[in-house]
Amino acid sequence: EAGVTQFPSHSVIEKGQTVTLRCDPISGHDNLYWYRRVMGKEIKFLLHFVKESKQDESGMPNNRFLAERTGGTYSTLKVQPAELEDSGVYFCASSHWTGFNNEQFFGPGTRLTVL
């Protein structure tokens, strides 16, 4: 079974540019999560999809971030325009269940550097 994949693995952009990150969850997983780890800080929750619907987007930092999950399969996270403080590692995770069986399977992350 293929794991969670993320693309690209690294992205270096200039301030003001746009970047789109992609996450492909494990097939059949309805739950998809985005997290972000800024250097030296905790991994922070961004948002949670159940199928194509946003269940919780309370962690999205501002309206420069837009997440979509068309058709309930893969998800994209777009940052437009990017700012310096957006640099960090963006993780995607998926799970089949919620609750105690909420084992979230993580992707390798996308390292975003904004110059």
Q: What angle do CA 80, 85, 90 make, to 5 degrees?
A: 75
Is residue 29 a contact point for other proteins (CB under 8 A)? no
Residue 104 in tokens: 């979230």
Compute the distance between CA of residue 95 and CA of residue 114 in angstroms, rounded to an integer. 30
Across the chain, how many H-helices and E-strands are there? 0, 11
Select from 107, 110, 112, 114 the one that contacts other proteins (CB under 8 A). Answer: 107
Residue 11 contacts residue 21 (beta carbons within 8 Å) = yes
Is residue 1 a contact point for other proteins (CB under 8 A)? no
Which one, 88 or 107, has the nearer CB to other proteins? 107
Lay out the site mask for other proteins across 39-78 (x = CB under 8 A, - = otherwise): -xxxxxx--x------xx-xx-------------------
Which one, 73 or 102, has the nearer CB to other proteins? 102
Is residue 20 a contact point for other proteins (CB under 8 A)? no
Lay out the site mask for other proteins across 77-96 (x = CB under 8 A, - = otherwise): --------------x---x-
